[in-house]
């Protein structure tokens, strides 16, 4: 059985969790932010939600939705009521350990607000 590991969400009263998967990949989003991923197909019997070593889910699941297709991060934001901007990095400082200036692939273009430069 494959597993996807992600940090436990904060102990807020309500947390929005989305699990997106297909035959090759599984990603976990908490409150619209990607927190874990695996390069395996996820099989998730609800009886095994959590951890086999005692760190299993404790709480209430409300408004469970299951879809028959993979959502983009933007669609997950809309479905969970977290309307995220198209570019979360816009306006932030960018840095990189390497860049490819020959092909104009530099970190500053990730935060310039111009979608055509990415």
Give me the residue label for tokens 């995220």: 84
State the pLDDT at residue 89: 62
Instruction: Judge if pTM exceeds 0.85.
Output: no
State the pLDDT at residue 3: 61
State the pLDDT at residue 110: 62
Average pLDDT over residues 7-31: 76
Per-residue pLDDT tens for 68-118? 777 776 777 777 676 665 555 666 676 666 666 676 666 666 665 565 655
Per-residue pLDDT tens for 22-75? 778 888 888 777 888 888 776 665 555 656 666 666 677 777 777 777 777 677
State the pLDDT at residue 118: 53
Both tokens of 105, joined, read 């692939």
Three-state SS for 28? Answer: strand
Which one, of 32, 61, 29, lies nearest residue 46 by Cα? 61
State the pLDDT at residue 82: 66
Cβ atoms 5, 35 nearer than 8 A? no
State the pLDDT at residue 108: 63
Which one, of 7, 49, 47, 58, lies nearest residue 28 by Cα? 7
């Amino acid at each position: 059985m494959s597993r996807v590991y992600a940090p436990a969400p904060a102990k807020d009263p309500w947390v929005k969790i989305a699990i997106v998967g297909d035959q090759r990949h599984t990603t976990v989003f908490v409150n619209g932010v990607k927190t874990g991923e695996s390069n395996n197909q996820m099989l998730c019997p609800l009886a095994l939600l959590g951890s086999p070593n005692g760190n299993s889910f404790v709480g209430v699941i409300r408004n469970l939705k299951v879809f028959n297709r993979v959502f983009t991060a933007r669609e997950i934001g809309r479905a969970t009521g977290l309307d995220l901007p198209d570019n979360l990095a816009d306006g932030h400082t960018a840095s990189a350990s390497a860049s490819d200036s020959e092909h104009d692939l530099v970190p500053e273009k990730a935060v310039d607000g111009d979608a055509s430069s990415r």
